[in-house]
Amino acid sequence: MLATTLSTSLLGLDASPIRVEVQATRGVPSFELVGLAEAAVRESRVRVKSALAQLGVDISDYRIVVNLAPADVKKTGSGFDLAIAAATLAALRLVPSDRLHGVIFLGELSLAGGVHAVRGVLPQLLGARPYGMTQAVVPRQNQGEAALVEGLDARTVSTLAELYAWLQGKGELPRAEALPPMTELPSHDDLADVRGQPTARRALEICAAGGHNLLMIGPPGAGKTMLARRLPGILPRPTAEEALEITALHSVAGLLGPMQALVRRRPFRAPHHTVSEVGLVGGGDSPRPGEVSLAHQGVLFLDELPEFRRSALEALRQPLEDGTVTISRAQGRATFPARPLVACAMNPCPCGFQGDGTARCMCTPERVRAYRARLSGPLLDRLDVHVALPPVSVTALHRGSRGEDTAAVRERVQIARAIQSDRRRRHEVVGSTNATLASRDVERVARICSVSEMLLTTAVSRLGLSARAYGKVLRVARTIADLAGKDQVLPEHVAEAVSLRLLDRGVHGAAAAA
């Protein structure tokens, strides 16, 4: 008998429905699986056969053929086990085949018949809704994700025996229940702990308010890492839509813990400088998100920026500009969102002590130029704010007063974000923050007077800024005006935005000389 059920396959965050067809006939015992399946999918026949044996289902007299259609779509992962087992039971006439109609099955089987969690349940169920699916059966450990999908009757199962009884009409499977929000542990990374560095603190606030990328240059111990780790705390809490995007990406990457539901905190990712290009931007035979996507709607911190591989840094240029990563493979294209706030840190020279006032630096001008030339001009152009951090004196550490705490700064950032959100609705501009404003909208919403325009023109000429950098300065000035509660961008806002690009001459000059 032939039985058919449904599952899904992921390519990036896009789910495609997969028809699981099982033909069971008496004959020479075999279990064949076709349909462009990778190794983990082909191995499902071993798991399914063993799990069925635990139910007392003997298939030793049958020739089982499993087809995963469409055959030209590559199937990856172990999530097809449950669908294959359900269709096999129907093909053996042990359960009514009509019980499988309109149901999506996701789950990995153990040899003992247990149903284990799989990756990507949330995006797979979200992708199934447009195809008219009304019901899903998922592992109980994935119920937190399944409960987030509205309009779908999601049932949970922990063993194949439970599913067998449900298909026979002898029992009910519990519906996926929304899990209570995880109690957020209090963060010990408070901005008030940062002593000194008023310019850097101000730059952090501007970047958080407008979603601007940041480059910090300073000697070891100046507080670059300390500041970066406090950046997520001053960002507004993610909206429901943003939280769903973050959760879907973490689900695909397998970063959600058991019984974990919606991710309500903005991610902070800090890959080591030895990370590969694939690790940073994503890729692989079965495309997986990289660090830039896992930091989506959060912060991606790149410490010791010049030490990263040149190829990895150059691969970041397109995601920083477009907000997405597209990975092309023979079987299709996978697209992941990639809109983090990128915070970078580097030393001023190879030894790190140039300009610290101690005369410890012995680096020659040639070594300094070679060190800074590891960063290309196009990459630096995409970092909106450049700020220098001087060394912090011992006196400031012991006697310096505590600055504003994270909560106070976050409140101002939220107000500025609300202004941008209101502007987006009123003017129908593209971009959720000032940093993502479309080029055609920048000058329309960042209205500047003649004095501001003359100041900006002079700065562009003297600093040798590119057209992209010119747009970045305008966006930053718009954010500074929003923090000040001003509708028009005033000369003081432009002046401060320009001052946050003054490092361009030194760093870009070294890059151009290489």
pLDDT digits (tens, 9 = 90+) for 304-362: 999 999 999 999 999 998 999 998 876 678 899 999 999 999 999 999 888 777 778 88
Residue 325 in tokens: 């990563």
Take residue 140 and report the two structure tokens written for it.
């109980």
Measured distance CA(450)–CA(472) in Å, rounded: 19
Instruction: Work out the average pLDDT over 57-82.
Output: 93
Return the pLDDT at 514.
Answer: 38
Assign 183 a pLDDT band (cuts: 50, 70, 90). Answer: low
Tell me, what's the pLDDT at 513?
40
Q: What is the mean pLDDT of the chain?
A: 89
Spatial CB neighbours of 150, under 8 Å, sequence gap ≥ 6: none
What are the pLDDT digits (tens) for 6-56?
999 988 888 989 999 999 999 899 999 999 999 989 999 999 999 999 999
Residue 186 reports pLDDT greater than 70:
no
pLDDT for residue 187: 64
**Which tens digit of pLDDT belongs to each residue from 395-426?**
666 666 677 899 999 999 999 999 999 988 88
Q: What domains sit in the chain, N to C, each tagged with a CATH number?
A: 2-167 (3.30.230.10)
pLDDT at 509: 46
Residue 134's pLDDT band (boundaries 50, 70, 90)?
confident
Cβ atoms within 10 Å, residue 332? 15
Per-residue pLDDT, 453: 86
Q: What pLDDT does 303 receive?
A: 96
CB atoms within 10 A of CB 450: 8
pLDDT at 400: 61
For residue 185, the model assigns a pLDDT of: 53
Nearest to 162 by CA among 95, 102, 212: 95
CA distance 102 to 123: 18
Q: Which pLDDT score, from 0 to 100, does residue 155 have? A: 96
- The answer to whether residue 256 scores a pLDDT higher than 60 is yes
CA-nearest of 449, 448, 441 to 424 is 441
Which residues make Cβ contacts (< 8 Å) with residue 395, sequence separation at least 6? none
Q: Band the pLDDT of 511: cuts 50, 70, 90.
A: very low
Rounded mean pLDDT, 267-295: 93
pLDDT interval class at 151 (50, 70, 90): confident
Q: What percent of the chain is predicted at pLDDT more than 70?
A: 94
Residue pLDDT, tens place only, 462-503 = 877 888 888 899 999 999 999 999 988 999 999 999 999 876
Sequence-distant (≥ 6) Cβ neighbours of residue 342 within 8 angstroms: 213, 214, 292, 299, 300, 302, 316, 320, 383
pLDDT reading at 512 higher than 70: no
pLDDT tens, residue by residue, 355-396: 777 778 889 999 999 999 999 988 998 999 999 998 877 666
The reported pLDDT for the residue numbered 188 is 64
Give the pLDDT score at 399.
60
Question: What pLDDT score was predicted for residue 153?
Answer: 94
